[in-house]
Structure 1
């Protein structure tokens, strides 16, 4: 269960990783200037489930961390209450089986035993995000760590102020609103597709190829139109309000899922709409 919690922790964050296609340069780091800012701030696209063996911050990212006063993540991972809340949010007061008909319950029992070697009784009260984390745990055999966690650790060592744009509770409530029990059953059957999709996205992130990442991340097998609106557009607009307020006061590195960067309502475009100059940092 400890590994499931860890995978679920990163999986919650990974729901942020889809976006609309744009012709953007290959970079996960973008500099924010202009509009009265005394010092530049930065926008960093992260990937939340990176194999530890492949995880290394680029020099340009390390320099950006040094140059800012604070680091703001999607969720302030230095806040113990956030981690406590996530453990509670992994479970539901309503059982999964009670939301399925008899035939679906039988199918789910067989699926869990065959593919995941676990009984329905064991996971019946896991929240949707916990069950999706179960699938991620199965298809990602390596030890994983979030790119944002690496950024956070470097920032803490440099005594940077750490903040967050939202709470785990917000993210879990959003995903639970459109992942029904029947949808979870469908998703759990897509293990092979999920594994292939994950590897495509991981490779694209390592290459900083956000267009290729888009092709995999917006696969309709895994994300509905409703999900994209709730997970991306609505949250981006809320985040922009905070970003615009914070940047004049302190040079900030905003580290969020790479999926939030692009698109008509992506963070890059929303910042430009506010009058900021946002440019790719290539080296």
Structure 2
């Protein structure tokens, strides 16, 4: 089961900590408590190719009008557009995800394994192992996500091609639609961050403010050698469709609930998913709960030490994973406890 550890974590971190909300909805208006102009709280979807298309945001009531009205954009972190931004917690994260300076993959793997790894790295990242300094467990995590998304994207393209073959639309329309659907798209959080940067909004990274450490994501008790062997075993699989099918089957209910903008349903589907993951590997139960607490409630409370300061004088669009909105320890309730009026759009 250790070989499936990155796969289970990928599912978990994508969907971690969804909970109950007072009402349905992804976008919320923040007012009252002395605010002269409203701010907005939006729950994003961190992963999944299908929800990256910008047309999904068109279905969120009030999204575009609220985004146009603000002066600041607040997100979990800004590193996608400000890669040079750094602090002590980011330095610690780098130490956690990078190989020791005196260690290379040739120290961890034999020649045949290096050949397997180099072939895969060249295909996926256009780099060889002698130029790679990410730890094996980090690479495994990345590869699980890349393979999953490549497969899903390929399947979507095949469906679109079938539909296109029977359409009577002008060639120019078909080509424009194909480019939109086939293009590589950023996950929702990064796409919004880039949109805010292009709009000239002030950018605030919540995790930078609290110096949050994502230590639990890549922490493992496996040695570097064990991680490297597991990585090569994963690459040597005869196929990946079963992984993609399993992930889609497990994640599908939560994804559909998010697409419906129904956080009540997301909570129920999330619980079903967590139960299934624990069945697959009961050893993950304690680690998942510890990580859920760190990624969710604890982080929300730390963010709230800063959010009131930023929304006091400037209208702000706060975009964080939908996991952070609902529940007794969610941002909606924490903002209400602080005296703000928070209403669904």
Provide TM-score, normalisation by structure 2.
Answer: 0.60
Change (3 A) 1:166 1:16: farther
Structure (1 or 2) with the greater helix fraction:
2
Partner of 2:81: 78
| Contact 1:204–1:210 (CA under 8 A) maintained in structure 2 | yes
CA distance in 1 between counterparts of 2:136 and 2:326 reads 30
Q: Which ranges in structure 2 are unaligned for 5 or more consecutive residues?
A: 1-5, 122-127, 154-183, 235-239, 279-284
Instruction: Please state if 1:145 is matched with 2:154.
Output: no
Provide TM-score, normalisation by structure 1.
Answer: 0.72
| Contact 1:262–1:269 (CA under 8 A) maintained in structure 2 | yes
| Contact 2:21–2:327 (CA under 8 A) maintained in structure 1 | no
CA distance in 2 between counterparts of 1:72 and 1:125 reads 29
Partner of 1:268: 332
CA distance in 2 between counterparts of 1:95 and 1:195 reads 35
Partner of 1:3: none
**Mean Cα displacement is larger for which, 131-140 or 160-169?**
160-169
SS of the equivalent of 2:141 reads helix
Which one has a bigger Cα radius of gyration?
Answer: 2
SS of the equivalent of 1:263 reads coil
Partner of 2:53: 54
Change (3 A) 1:210 1:47: same
Partner of 2:144: 135
Number of aligned residue pairs: 254
**Mean Cα displacement is larger for which, 74-83 or 27-36?**
74-83
Partner of 1:156: 197
Cα deviation, residue 15, structure 1: 2.7
CA distance in 2 between counterparts of 1:41 and 1:33 reads 7
Partner of 1:91: 98
Cα deviation, residue 87, structure 1: 7.9
| Contact 2:18–2:322 (CA under 8 A) maintained in structure 1 | no
- RMSD of the TM alignment (CA)? 4.1
CA distance in 1 between counterparts of 2:218 and 2:194 reads 30
Residue-by-residue CA offset, 1:101-139 (whole Å, 9 max, x unaligned)? xxxx9xxx9xxx8xxx959x9699526444223222222
Partner of 1:4: none
Partner of 1:69: 71
Cα deviation, residue 72, structure 1: 0.7
SS of the equivalent of 1:81 reads coil
Q: Which ranges in structure 1 are unaligned for 5 or more consecutive residues?
A: 1-7, 99-104
Instruction: Please state if 1:26 is matched with 2:24.
Output: yes
**Mean Cα displacement is larger for which, 157-166 or 56-65?**
56-65
Change (3 A) 1:193 1:64: same
CA distance in 2 between counterparts of 1:201 and 1:47 reads 10
Of the three residues 259, 265, 271, the one matched with 1:212 is 265
Structure (1 or 2) with the greater strand fraction:
1
